[in-house]
Amino acid sequence: METTLIILKPDAVQRGFCGRIISRFEDKGLQVVGMKLMTISQELAAKHYEAHKERPFYASLVGFMTSSPVVVMALKGNNAIAISRKMMGATFGSNAEPGTIRGDFGVSNSFNLIHGSDSPEAATRELELFFANGELQDYERAIGSWVYDWSGGEPE
């Protein structure tokens, strides 16, 4: 089981898509193990996007991500990172396929609604940035055996 970070960006919050996007992840079978509404500080945005510091879009990205509240979530599930990224769709809304979050709700290449960790290493790093020790919940859901086939001892 993996846990990944998802951020519903300022445009998703301002456009009122949070509930609809969260429902998509839950409908897919991913488990919300952490969630909060917050405004990202300049310092946190700088840490989160430090890999892009030399890129021309860095300043506008940090400005955008600190401009309004976001919803930060930790989602857990078998292959949660790959599943979440597939559900998000192509980075630019204008290129995203219908049926994906960006394909259904976005057309902008700058405002792309959602962030998701792109690897287990990134997820670990990002989750530590946004959630303090003890903030993520570890609980069994009653539907767990109906989401995954565990007959082989591992989730399928």
**Single-letter amino acid code for the residue at 150:** W
Q: What is the CATH number of the domain that holds 15?
A: 3.30.70.141
Q: How many domains does the chain have?
A: 1
How would DSSP label each residue in 1-70? -EEEEEEE-HHHHHTT-HHHHHHHHHHHTPEEEEEEEE---HHHHHHHTGGGTTSTTHHHHHHHHTSS-E
Tell me what pLDDT residue 154 has.
87
CA geometry: angle at 44 spanning 138 and 31, to 5°?
25
Q: Which of 76, 112, 115, 126 is catalytic?
A: 115
Residue 48 is a catalytic residue: no
Task: Give the tens place of pLDDT for each residue, 63-89.
Answer: 999 999 999 999 999 999 999 999 999
Residue 26 falls inside a structural domain:
yes
In a domain, 34, yes or no: yes
Return the percentage of the chain with pLDDT > 90, whole number: 87
What pLDDT sits at residue 153? 87
Task: Determine, yes or no, domain membership for 120.
Answer: yes
Query: Mean of the pLDDT values across residues 47-55?
Result: 93
In this predicted structure, the answer to whether residue 144 has a pLDDT above a threshold of 90 is no
- Please report, as a single letter, which amino acid is at residue 110: S
**Residue 152: inside a domain:** no
Q: What is the mean pLDDT of the chain?
A: 95
